[in-house]
Amino acid sequence: MAADWLGSLVSINCGPTLGVYQGEVSSVDQSSQTISLKQPFHNGVKCSVPEVTFSAMDIKELKILDITIGNVRNGSSVCAKSSSGPIAVPRDDPRTKERLNSPQHCSKSYGERHQDVPGQPKQGFRLRHNSWSSSSRGVNPVTPKKNGVKNGAPMKHRDDECFGDGMDDGMEDFDFEGNLALFDKAAVFSEIDTSERRTNGARSRGTPQEQTPTRYRHDENVLEVKPIVYRQITVPQPGDKEFCTDSGLIVPTISYDFRKRLLSVAERHGLSLERRLEMTGVCASQMALTLLGGPNRLTPKNVHQRPTVALLCGPHVQGAQGISCGRHLANHEVEVILFLPKFVKMLESVTSELNVFSKTGAKLVSNIKDLPDSPVDLIIDCLDCHESTFLMDQPWYKAAANWANQNRAPVLCIDPPVSRQQVVEAKWSLSLCLPLPLAEGAGRVYLCDIGVPCKVFQEVGVKYHSPFGCKFVIPLHSA
């Protein structure tokens, strides 16, 4: 009698997970408890497969939408719900009686009927999400094939099955190339140019063929800026020698007499000798700390290898600068040995710096024999003076210069003079404010910022723009 239901339209509710299916009954297998629908609709959308098969375990509710009956007999009828209204079904028809007396009547779901079977304990009903395809063993089971065909129809991609809208695949692909060919870019840009000319637009835009893209290096600024002026410092009486910084800025040299005038004006405006000595000491000590290894050498874990610096100073302003540098080095845990011969009369600035230096606990010697015999880490030379030449004939000067040349330690000279060749050959020389035309024995030249204001430079006729940037000590190169 199951074959009498073939061709009938039914609606099968499989719960919220699998949804509702409608279609024409194509086969009913009582032995495997399966029913197959052809031309099915899933939740109102036509399925991409021609036939689906359901197991009785997955069916929550079954509704008859239309029954194909050859001869309708007179008598009482049973109503089946449909989308177009109730349909009169004769009750005395044998197929109707069989359907009404069947345990798979649509009034109860299979799970509810299974729990009501006499003689069996009630048990929970578990929904199998894919049982209709994996457990179908009856007629026309819906199982995937290795060749990508499902029940004679090509399989759709998994994403299409999950997220597709169920529409037919007969839609034509959009012709992007053909649509792009309809766009006349040259005409559009020409129209834009014409519109901008009418509105007196300040910006003109050409076609892509007319535009030449500008290529920038990784270190170039893409924003339009003013051209760099590398000669930002000009002096009224430039020397024969010029230097340049790492960024290419030109730094001219000045004579010692011109520098004396510049410092005199600066002192008149408040930049006293004591301030200049402090700035020189700080900058020189910072450079010396870098030469000694900086953070790689001066660490709390490296106290057993503290660097040793020997300071050779004379009784003049250069010597006071060296004493100030030694004080700052001693404050940074550097082993400092200061050599300063005993004089009956010294400058007030030297005496003042020496009094402060004595509070650091660093070593002060006046005899060359008290200097270490082994090489030190760094020698700072402040023996020479800009204005006096008689010091070179003094025994202490010769002895100190001879010790420095034989110690085999690198030498840093602070503010060396330009009047003569240096007795102690230096590896580095530190100039103040603006460089002096130093001799070849001065080594590599560095420039130190001692805090002279721009107005002071302008007063002495110097067009000045600071070349230091973010630093107080910068290296100079021969231009």
Which residues are CB-neighbours of 443 under 8 A, at least 6 positions away?
Answer: 411, 413, 425, 426, 427, 428, 429
Residue 210 lies in a domain: no
Of 145, 163, 181, which closes a domain?
163
| Whether 333 and 430 share a structural domain | yes
Beta bridge partners of 429: 413, 445
pLDDT exceeds cutoff 70 at 23 = yes
| Whether 335 and 470 share a structural domain | yes
Residue 21 lies in a domain: yes
Q: Tell me the average pLDDT across 342-369.
A: 91
Nearest alpha-carbon partner for 127 in 232, 223, 13, 277: 13
| pLDDT at position 376 | 95
The number of distinct structural domains making up the chain is: 2
Range of the domain at 361: 242-298+305-478
| Whether 290 and 145 share a structural domain | no
- Confidence tier at 228 by pLDDT (50, 70, 90): confident
Q: Tokens for 447?
A: 């420039």
SS3 content of the chain, % helix, strand, coil (to 5): 30, 20, 50
| Whether 155 and 247 share a structural domain | no
Residue 420 lies in a domain: yes
Question: pLDDT: is 213 or 15 the higher one?
Answer: 15
Q: How many CB atoms lie within 10 A of CB 96?
A: 22
| Whether 279 and 373 share a structural domain | yes
pLDDT exceeds cutoff 80 at 97 = no
Is 314:305 a contact under the CB 8 Å cutoff? no
Residue 464 lies in a domain: yes
Q: How many CB atoms lie within 10 A of CB 459?
A: 15
- Confidence tier at 74 by pLDDT (50, 70, 90): very low
Residue 183 lies in a domain: no
pLDDT exceeds cutoff 50 at 428 = yes
| pLDDT at position 101 | 47
| pLDDT at position 33 | 86
- Confidence tier at 181 by pLDDT (50, 70, 90): confident
| Whether 154 and 289 share a structural domain | no
| pLDDT at position 138 | 43
What is d(CA 357, CA 311) in angstroms, rounded to the nearest whole number? 12
pLDDT exceeds cutoff 70 at 415 = yes
Angle CA(202)–CA(208)–CA(209) in degrees, nearest 5?
115
Of 163, 184, 218, which closes a domain?
163
Question: pLDDT: is 88 or 197 the higher one?
Answer: 197
Cα-based torsion angle of the residue sequence 263, 268, 274, 278 in order, rounded to the nearest 10 degrees: -60
In percent, how much of the chain has pLDDT > 70? 73
Which residues are CB-neighbours of 364 under 8 A, at least 6 positions away?
Answer: 338, 340, 354, 357, 358
Residue 225 lies in a domain: no
| pLDDT at position 321 | 96
Q: Could you give the count of Cα atoms lying within 13 Å of 426 in the half-sphere of its Cβ?
A: 28
Residue 429 lies in a domain: yes
Question: pLDDT: is 153 or 384 the higher one?
Answer: 384
Query: What's the predicted TM-score (pTM) here?
Result: 0.55
pLDDT exceeds cutoff 70 at 80 = no
Residue 186 lies in a domain: no
Question: pLDDT: is 327 or 131 the higher one?
Answer: 327
| Whether 132 and 263 share a structural domain | no
| pLDDT at position 344 | 63
Buried b (16+ CB within 10 A) or exposed e, 165-197: eeeeeeeeeeeeeeeeeeeeeeeebeeebeeee
| Whether 139 and 253 share a structural domain | no
| pLDDT at position 263 | 95
Is 324:330 a contact under the CB 8 Å cutoff? no
Of 163, 182, 212, which closes a domain?
163
Domain at 276, CATH number: 3.40.50.10260
Q: Tell me the average pLDDT across 5-18.
A: 86
What is d(CA 349, CA 334) in angstroms, rounded to the nearest whole number? 23
| Whether 123 and 254 share a structural domain | no
What is d(CA 380, CA 309) in angstroms, rounded to the nearest whole number? 7
- Confidence tier at 420 by pLDDT (50, 70, 90): low
| Whether 6 and 147 share a structural domain | yes
| pLDDT at position 200 | 64
What is d(CA 153, CA 149) in angstroms, rounded to the nearest whole number? 5
Domain at 31, CATH number: 2.30.30.100
Place of tokens 């001693």: 330
Name the 3-class secondary structure at 235: coil
pLDDT exceeds cutoff 60 at 158 = no
- Helices 273-291 & 256-268, crossing angle to 10 degrees? 120
- Confidence tier at 116 by pLDDT (50, 70, 90): very low
